[in-house]
Structure 1
């Protein structure tokens, strides 16, 4: 490594799970409180300043959406100080992957819905054909989600029932082949938990629907990609989406329950690490 690069302050800015924090700002002040350097991290989260006079300095790291971190740096006679990894936590201790576009991997994700049957048991269905894109914004509350599901891809393990679900009594796939969701922002709901605010279009009806989202962490995969995992949940009323079909089999007991529990198990790959198409 070029020795000039190692002169001055050297550090890498990371999240708790090891992601680079791009555009983090490192401010260095001397013991009198005077600013002597201000450096922005590069795309790898690396920070390098020019040489500094020997002495003790205060280093403050800031980034949009993260709690600031302060540390002390001891600059040697060579004018260098290596701080190693400076770890930033999301404000309020609430974590999400770093900013960027994440593409949902349908092969390792599940979109499922569960309804009550006869008031006794549950029937679970899955959609086999869907796509989605998540964009984590630097200002995390401005993050967005867009998803599209092929309504005809519903599967419950019973062909007759699946055909009925595709009919005008339920999904009406002939006239409304796509189910879409547009998330226009998120808000914190607890450590590693968020509420996604958006609109769901189902059977030709569009209504506001919030998702209860849990962030499960990130890590590398076997194909050179970087993945983030999420779990999301919401509950829908069928009649909100004009799916009013039902049969009363006996007093007080309906064939199909009035609500649907929707559960999402999501793996998404960072766009920059997707394999070539």
Structure 2
């Protein structure tokens, strides 16, 4: 069976997240630099594998001061731990175009298993003859599990930064052309 490799198209892919701020609000952000690939034997996505490497310093919440704090040792410590890495271990077909991608997420040299709930949006040929694969995926993590434990108690109760982080991916990948 022929393996097909799909490279993430960074211009049409979003690696985003959301975390609670001051208990009542939500802060949305994204990472702007990453690379990744999906390798599939034939057309059987359930037999495929995924690997993504994200540049920790590319975090963007729209507020420079907050982004610099997130790059600091209080959070990602991007100079010491420059990459966030996801490597799949298995893909489970959940039916009707849905998959559970089970893999290891590494942040700050701490690795934990996560499950990406994934929906295949489709496969098309673009106007330039490239095959494209599109999907959405999401998961939630507890940031403390990865050593991201900085916080501040609020006078009215609760914490400044929520512990749960919702991760969302909107992905387009382009098939490598056969040699």
Q: Same fold (TM over 0.5)?
A: yes
2:41 pairs, out of 102, 113, 137, with 137
Structure 1 residue 137: deviation in Å?
2.3
**Are the aligned partners of 1:226 and 1:269 in contact in 2 as well (CA < 8 Å)?**
yes
Q: How far apart are the structure 1 equivalents of 2:121 and 2:46? A: 18
Q: How far apart are the structure 2 equivalents of 1:157 and 1:212? A: 27
**Are the aligned partners of 1:142 and 1:184 in contact in 2 as well (CA < 8 Å)?**
no
**Are the aligned partners of 1:143 and 1:184 in contact in 2 as well (CA < 8 Å)?**
no
Matched positions, count: 178
Q: Is 1:212 aligned to 2:117, yes or no?
A: yes
Structure 1 residue 233: deviation in Å?
0.1
**Any gaps of 5 or more consecutive residues in structure 2?**
none
How big is each residue's C-alpha offset from its partner over 1:31-80, in whole Å with a ceiling of 9 and x where there is no partner? Answer: xxxxxxxxxxxx9xxxxxxxxxxxxxxxxxxxxxxxxxxxxxxxxxxxxx
Residue 65 of structure 1: aligned partner: none
2:17 pairs, out of 103, 106, 113, with 113
SS at match of 2:141: strand
- Which structure would you say has the larger RCO, counting Cα contacts within 8 Å and 6 or more residues apart? 2
Q: Considering only CA atoms, is the larger Rg found in Structure 1 or Structure 2?
A: 1
**Are the aligned partners of 1:169 and 1:245 in contact in 2 as well (CA < 8 Å)?**
yes
Q: How far apart are the structure 2 equivalents of 1:185 and 1:272? A: 25
2:164 pairs, out of 253, 259, 262, with 259
Q: Is 1:104 aligned to 2:8, yes or no?
A: yes
2:59 pairs, out of 133, 150, 154, with 154
Residue 84 of structure 2: aligned partner: 179
TM-score norm. by structure 2 comes to: 0.94
Alignment of 1:241-256 (within 5 A): 241-256=146-161
Structure 1 residue 121: deviation in Å?
1.3
**Are the aligned partners of 1:226 and 1:273 in contact in 2 as well (CA < 8 Å)?**
no
Q: How far apart are the structure 1 equivalents of 2:38 and 2:176? A: 10
TM-score norm. by structure 1 comes to: 0.61
Q: How far apart are the structure 2 equivalents of 1:142 and 1:220? A: 22
Output the aligned Cα RMSD.
1.8
